[in-house]
Structure 1
Amino acid sequence: MRYLIRNSTLRLVSFGVGIVFALFVTPVIINAIGQAAYGVWALISATVANYLLLDFGLSQAVSKFVAAAIAREDQKEINRICSTGIALNVISCLLSCIITVVLLYFGKDHIPQGADFAQVQTYFAIYAGTFSLLFLFRTWNGVLAGEMRWTLLAFISMVKNVIVSLSVLIWISGENGLMFLSVVNGVGFLLEGVVYWIFARRGFSVSIRFRHVDWRLGGELFRFGLTSLVAQVGQAMRFRSQPYIIVKAIGAEGVAVFSIATQLISYFTNLIRSAFGIFIPHFSRLQAQHDHDGIRQSMLSALWLSYRVSAYVGLCLVFYGGEFVELWLGPEFRDVQLVLVPMAIGSIFSTSIIPAQEFLMGISQHRITAICNIGEGICVVFASIISMMYFGIVGVGWSFFVCSFIFRACLLPYYAFRQADAPLSSYIQLLGCVALTHVLPQWIFWISVRDYMGTGYLSLFAMSVMQGLVIIVVQYGLFRLDRRLVGFADAVRT
């Protein structure tokens, strides 16, 4: 708990600051460049975001291996890991540049009708080119994570988001629109990587030399990272494949509507990841120290907290997300509600299980994570194509929900609890407690007050706060009645 609070606080603050600025920036961008152009930008940014797959999971591999080396106080191993990681990331940078050139000449068939291909080429070249240079600094991100310097990473990210958002708010216009977005976002990511390098070199004792490069170790890093890569590919298919399906069916306007829903879902996902996505080096250190009881207790305790937080935030998004979007962007985005509801429910399962995923990666037993991610991603793609033909973007949203339930609420927890040597009945108990103390009270509260809801941001905020207070009161009352109804302590102790 102390580790969680200490390392999650500033990450949550950083994430909150990013959301606040994004909520201001998004309508400014749409008003400046229009809904169709915003759909084009959504496609460009989604394509460039896929470049992170070319990291091949090496930053996570560096984080895990460095954390274990720190626990053993092995300085030579740290030098080998960092030098080898940098050499491998240089290769990733070259690959991303080659892919950028290929897409510049063969991507014409994938842009929305009516868009100027020459201009889109220019925007994409600027954004993708600067983003590619980020790979030169990805190793240092892994080093800082391996040192568990989560607060520093959060602070750097927060400062970058603030600078980029303020630049957009001040200088974007209809004339410079997509060009400005490409430049400011690309340069922002590149400068973030440079700052990682500066702080890692100043606060971490490591010798980077070509003679320290160990290609056998590189193979170990790559094999660990490859499994992470497969998991990331599945993640990309879950969230970034739909715009390409939608743009072919109904055009850029449909992509804009869907991208708003996925933007809110990404806020939800990143919120939970900011709080609970910090356990890989923690589990790696415990494994290096052969503390199996500590590993199991850490996973169970983190899962209990993540399910409670995810249930509250996700249901707020379900109940009040549609009204918020209409206030935020106007009635033309009213259809976002139809996509947002199933995706938010599915994301509750996806985000709640994050500590278990971190556990599996931390102990190098994360193949099932990769299998589940890629299996879910493939199912999402095919289900979205089929449902798009019959139900439009609403079917795409429900396809996401069904796949999330199967893989995130059933398969992945089953394997994680087996690896932690924890009874599956503990997971069933966890779900029952969350349903009783969080889901049911929130649903009853919303049913009771929805006809009396006012309009405006203040009303939505007040309803969300009251919903949280209802949970606290219900949980406290049940705890006084019988602590087994709301506690997960018995499961943690076992």
Structure 2
Amino acid sequence: MAVGFFFAPFILHRLGDAAYGVWVLAISVVGYLGLMDLGLQSSVLRFVSKGHTTGDHEGSSEAISAALWVRLQIGAVCLVLSVGLAAIFPLWFKVPPALASDARKAILLIGLTTVIGMTFGVASAVLSALNRYDLQNYVGLTQTAIRVMGVVYALRTGHGIISIAFCELIAIIVSSALLLYTAHRLYPELKVKLQKPKRETLRKLWVYSSYAFLTTIAVQLVYQADNLVVGAFVSATAVTYYAIGNSLCRYASQIVGSIGGSFVPAASTYEAAGDTAGLLALFRNGTRATIMVSLPILITLVVRGRTFIALWMGPQYARSSGTVLIILCTALFFSFANRTAASIAYGVEKHKASALWAISEGVTNLILSVVLVRWYGIYGVALGTMIPSLIVHVVFWPRYISKLVGLSAFEVIWNVWAPMFLAGVPFVIASYAMAAFPVHNLTMFFIQVLATLPVYFLAVAFIFRGYVRQQVVPRIRSVLFTSAH
């Protein structure tokens, strides 16, 4: 988040609105190559986690070998598609002629980066399956550091989007090498064989990954199609205004995703052990933890998002990007509330229905965005994203997860969601009150936000006062007693 907050305005102001919009469009277009993953990342996570838990190292090895074999072939196809995308990119979108050549070269580099990351991403899935998110995050931080240092140097020396794309390529090469090495050290029993896998292994992977693949398509339609619609029907410059608001939602999603991602192997472990009580506890506590983390972020973005954007990117972006942000965040309140449920569905191989909902949401999003952009511009695209998301996450998900964990849909909403949302009400009031005091820089803005956070946590503590009294207070006393002696 720190990199996103402070790095994005640096890139924007160095490149300018048009070049930044072209860069976002290029990333969005090439992002569709991620669909070629076919959901294999989720399959590797699921079967390596299960194989490691049950001691079936041969099954784990077969799964990761098959996934890597398939991905190497997919990677070759993606490279060819990147060449085609580079050729037609300036023809599809309203790209300024002066940036057409740079855009083509950047797409080729981004395509190569995507192929390397996708091919060797199986190693990242191994780390996730073993619950070694600490090591996975160290590698991610290393990749980010390399990228940041490279891009800062490139832009300060007068280079443009081609240099940024090259820095992304170097960073992914280094991180892929680190992931492969780390995965081998953590799970030496894995034996990777680059040969045609057994038909049964491929069938097992595809049965699981096919629905994960549909979900991947839906994610691409939801998160990447919006930029493409704006670029095709409005302008490359308008993409910048939309992307600013959308990027803040993405940063929030990364935080929540890092929490929910750890629940997939946990759910697999509970399911493999037949621990239904553990699965129910994972849902209750995971959902409450996810909402507790995400709610103050979303409330701040909705109540004070325009102020933040004005300080972050510039006052000229506050109104348009801020409105986009408010619309998109409205859907995220309920999307984040269901993040744990989605992780559990994947972990126990009950994600078929969610995949179908996701693809329906993505298609509806695209259609509505294309229709509404003609009437409301970039706000229409945001509305096209919000409406289907609310329907899926408010109507369908509570009913579905209730069947998996043994709660009624009413209990999901009233006993799990409602207490956490209720705890956010005092924070909303405090945020509106704090907004009455003017701020002139980001430091003061963050100080104001931090000053209001105790209101939220006190409300959470009051609602769950029984748990605090029985579990939290004794632990605090134990720590204080130990420290005193």
* TM-score computed with the length of structure 1 as normaliser: 0.89
Q: Distance in 2 between matches of 1:103 and 1:113?
A: 14
Q: Distance in 2 between matches of 1:70 and 1:477?
A: 41
Cα distance 1:57–1:345, how it changes in 2: closer, same or farther (>3 A)?
same
Matched, 1:230 2:214: yes
Counterpart pick for 2:397 among 398, 403, 412: 412
2:215–2:359 contact (8 Å) kept in structure 1? yes
State the secondary structure of the residue aligned to 1:451: coil
State the secondary structure of the residue aligned to 1:52: helix
Displacement, 1:264?
Answer: 0.8
- 2:421 aligns with 435
Q: Distance in 2 between matches of 1:150 and 1:186?
A: 23
Matched, 1:161 2:144: yes
- 1:444 aligns with 429
- 1:395 aligns with 380
Counterpart pick for 1:279 among 263, 279, 288: 263
Displacement, 1:432?
Answer: 2.3
- 1:457 aligns with 442
Cα distance 1:418–1:459, how it changes in 2: closer, same or farther (>3 A)?
same
Cα RMSD for the two superposed structures: 2.1
Identity %: 18
Q: How does 1:212-251 map to 2 (within 5 A)?
A: 213-251=197-235
1:144–1:150 contact (8 Å) kept in structure 2? yes
Counterpart pick for 1:299 among 279, 283, 298: 283
Q: Distance in 2 between matches of 1:67 and 1:315?
A: 36
1:349–1:408 contact (8 Å) kept in structure 2? yes
What are the superposed Cα offsets for residues 302-357 of structure 1, whole Å, 9 maximum, x if unpaired? 01221222221111111222111111221221221110111112112222211110
1:265–1:343 contact (8 Å) kept in structure 2? yes
2:420–2:460 contact (8 Å) kept in structure 1? no
State the secondary structure of the residue aligned to 1:176: coil
Matched, 1:331 2:315: yes
Structure 1: tracts of 5 or more residues without a match: 1-18, 488-494
- 1:56 aligns with 38
2:298–2:333 contact (8 Å) kept in structure 1? yes
Cα distance 1:463–1:84, how it changes in 2: closer, same or farther (>3 A)?
same
- 2:330 aligns with 345
Displacement, 1:42?
Answer: 0.2
Counterpart pick for 2:62 among 52, 75, 80: 80
Q: Distance in 1 between matches of 2:397 and 2:249?
A: 21
- 2:453 aligns with 468
- 1:9 aligns with none
1:128–1:186 contact (8 Å) kept in structure 2? no
Q: Distance in 1 between matches of 2:360 and 2:66?
A: 31
What are the superposed Cα offsets for residues 357-399 of structure 1, whole Å, 9 maximum, x if unpaired? 0100000000122112111111111111222111111222233
Q: Distance in 2 between matches of 1:257 and 1:310?
A: 24
Q: Distance in 1 between matches of 2:195 and 2:441?
A: 62
State the secondary structure of the residue aligned to 2:435: helix
Q: How does 1:28-43 map to 2 (within 5 A)?
A: 28-43=10-25
- 1:111 aligns with 93
Matched, 1:382 2:367: yes
1:92–1:135 contact (8 Å) kept in structure 2? no
Q: Distance in 2 between matches of 1:39 and 1:157?
A: 26
Matched, 1:200 2:186: no
State the secondary structure of the residue aligned to 1:209: coil
1:299–1:356 contact (8 Å) kept in structure 2? yes
Paired letter, 1:91: Q
What are the superposed Cα offsets for residues 233-263 of structure 1, whole Å, 9 maximum, x if unpaired? 1111111111121122221110011111111
2:123–2:183 contact (8 Å) kept in structure 1? yes
Paired letter, 1:140: A
Counterpart pick for 2:8 among 22, 26, 30: 26
Q: Distance in 1 between matches of 2:362 and 2:137?
A: 28
Q: Distance in 1 between matches of 2:113 and 2:412?
A: 44
- 1:131 aligns with 114
Paired letter, 1:99: L
- 2:50 aligns with 68
- 1:147 aligns with 130
Paired letter, 2:364: C
Q: Distance in 1 between matches of 2:464 and 2:54?
A: 42
- 1:6 aligns with none
Displacement, 1:287?
Answer: 1.3
Paired letter, 2:118: F
Cα distance 1:40–1:251, how it changes in 2: closer, same or farther (>3 A)?
same
Structure 2: tracts of 5 or more residues without a match: 472-485
Displacement, 1:174?
Answer: 7.3
2:328–2:382 contact (8 Å) kept in structure 1? yes
Paired letter, 1:47: V
Q: Distance in 1 between matches of 2:441 and 2:118?
A: 43
Aligned residues: 465
